Structure 1
Amino acid sequence: MHLTLRQLNIFQAVATHLSFTRAASELHLTQPAVSMQIKQLEDNIGLPLFEHLGKSLYLTHAGEELLGYCERISEQLRDAEDAFENMKSLTCGKLKVTVASTANYFAAKLLAEFSQQHPGIKISLKVTNREQLLKDIKSNDCDLVIMGKPPAEFDVEATVFMENPLVVIAPVNHPLSQQKKIPLSVIANEPMVVREKGSGTRFSIERFFLQRGHELNVSAEMSASEAIKQAVSAGLSMGIVSSHTISLELEAGKLTVLDVEDMPIIRHWYLVHRSDKELSPIAQAFSNYLLSVNNYKDKIIKRCSFSK
């Protein structure tokens, strides 16, 4: 059985008025056109929907049954229309965001603030490593990704929305903790705990040192900022991490940030999605929110298309 919404709309109009003429007038169709659509509908169903008794038109039992279905379909279509309007007005819907593990230190707060402005929106936050970030972008398994280094493997649109300063941290009792403008050459001679090779943070640190004629003295590699902070706090050596990850440790007096010449190393956080993806109104609203709260609203936004 093959029915179309057009046929059901015409049937519902005829059934409501019990008149082909009035239904045709309401739908701005000719009466023969209405009659033809009803005939095709009856042929598809295999049962008569109307019967003529004298000059009056009546619904058959099949017609009464179909009218009930039409009314329920119309109600569902109205519900769907209302749902779409609510999504456009940001009163309901879903937002799926995947973030790099380091970004979780601020991403959860930003999402919570956005959620308070739009309480009807359901938010899904996934915190993961770079490999999974790339998979989520490629498979279109999320609306937006927050990461520090956009991929070069495939086309994405990446928007800078916040600075990501990298700083040198040390135990609070470290001999250098009271010095000002520590030369980078001094830091280069100190053993350093840093992220693993292949990470965007590690790449930025090594490039920063090499551009200034120094080589990084790596004493240990860690796969997460938490591990680096714990190692430094325990006195293993100094480390370099994003300043966004250490607010609690600084307040608790467990770590200190050294005053090093030419530092911090300024990286950026990017909001990333596939270049062929059209953002939903909700995702676009969150993107605008990030740019606004991080004072990028009135600045030139750096949009980049990365490809092979």
Structure 2
Amino acid sequence: GRFEQTIADLRGVKQGRLRIATVTTTKYFMPRLLGPFCAQYPGIDIALEVVNRDRVLERLARNQDDLYVMGVPPDDLDIIREPFLENTLMVLAAASHPLAQRRSITLGEVAKQPFILRERGSGTRLTVERMFRERGLSLNVRMELGSNEAIKQAVAGGLGLGILSLSTLHPDPSLDEVAMLDVEDFPIRRHWYLVWPRDKQLSVVAAAFLDFLRGHVDLLMHREPPRV
């Protein structure tokens, strides 16, 4: 078919450019996917724009890039969304927090705690606020921070609880000085999506990356949250 032909064509292509706009949380795993792709196609240059979700949506609406990566694709744009990796959200506390020793913590108990969250509009925050709202609860947001690393540091410092993607954590969370809490309805299991406008004709390079990704997602470290 035509798609197979474009892949065959690319094998003879020595140069090209792949433009990807991706939300900040994906910086923990996108380089591990792009590395092997670049090794297979050394003539292809990558332009990776790592920005917050609102900026990714702006770029998507303007069709500025080949592909877009995010956890919560928009409902108001005519797009194709392809899930390619699990995105697991966990509740975190300082390792010394009293809740770190507890089991089966209710969502109501957690809602009373101060939270440190990403800015409004971030995919993680949208997902979490929707879940609490559906259960008649609201989050007590003490602080908004623009990076996952800053949230981890604030949680480790005892400023409040955080909710982050498992992909942002060290395989041994104690090295981040945080504990994953055993909370009702958590972990939230979502996905990361590759997104592009439905009417967009993907470039040969973008089609090759899509094909590569479908076959190589196992390059990523799949880590199940511990059974707390």
TM range (shorter): 0.7 to 0.9
For the pair 1:104 / 2:27, whether they are aligned, the reply is yes
For the pair 1:174 / 2:97, whether they are aligned, the reply is yes
Greater helix percent: which structure? 1
**What are the within-5 Å matches in structure 2 for residues 1-308 of structure 1?**
87=10, 89=12, 91-247=14-170, 250=173, 252-294=175-217
Inter-partner Cα distance in structure 1 for 2:130 and 2:41: 41
Inter-partner Cα distance in structure 2 for 1:248 and 1:134: 30
Does the C-alpha gap of structure 1 residues 219 and 238 become closer, same or farther in structure 2, counting only changes over 3 Å? Answer: same
- CA drift at 1:293: 3.1
Does the 8 Å contact 2:169/2:176 carry over to 1?
A: no
Does the C-alpha gap of structure 1 residues 272 and 252 become closer, same or farther in structure 2, counting only changes over 3 Å? Answer: same
- CA drift at 1:248: 6.6
After superposition, give the CA deviation of every residue in 1:230-260 in whole Å (9 maximum; x if it has no partner): 2111110111111111227726242121121
After superposition, give the CA deviation of every residue in 1:34-89 in whole Å (9 maximum; x if it has no partner): xxxxxxxxxxxxxxxxxxxxxxxxxxxxxxxxxxxxxxxxxxxxxxxxxx986354
| Unmatched tracts of structure 1, length 5 or more | 1-83, 296-308
Does the 8 Å contact 1:100/1:133 carry over to 2?
A: yes
Residue of structure 2 in register with 1:46 after alignment: none
Does the 8 Å contact 2:10/2:208 carry over to 1?
A: no
Q: Secondary structure of 1:284's partner?
A: helix
Residue of structure 2 in register with 1:62 after alignment: none
The number of equivalent residue pairs is: 212
TM norm structure 2: 0.83
Does the C-alpha gap of structure 1 residues 105 and 253 become closer, same or farther in structure 2, counting only changes over 3 Å? Answer: closer
Residue of structure 2 in register with 1:55 after alignment: none
- CA drift at 1:112: 1.1
- CA drift at 1:194: 1.3
Does the C-alpha gap of structure 1 residues 101 and 259 become closer, same or farther in structure 2, counting only changes over 3 Å? Answer: same
Inter-partner Cα distance in structure 1 for 2:32 and 2:20: 13
Deviates more, 1:232-241 or 1:211-220: 211-220
Inter-partner Cα distance in structure 2 for 1:127 and 1:287: 19
Q: Secondary structure of 2:29's partner?
A: helix
Does the 8 Å contact 1:88/1:282 carry over to 2?
A: no
TM norm structure 1: 0.63
Inter-partner Cα distance in structure 2 for 1:208 and 1:179: 22
CA RMSD of aligned residues (A): 2.3
- CA drift at 1:270: 1.1
Does the C-alpha gap of structure 1 residues 263 and 90 become closer, same or farther in structure 2, counting only changes over 3 Å? Answer: farther
| Unmatched tracts of structure 2, length 5 or more | 1-6, 219-228
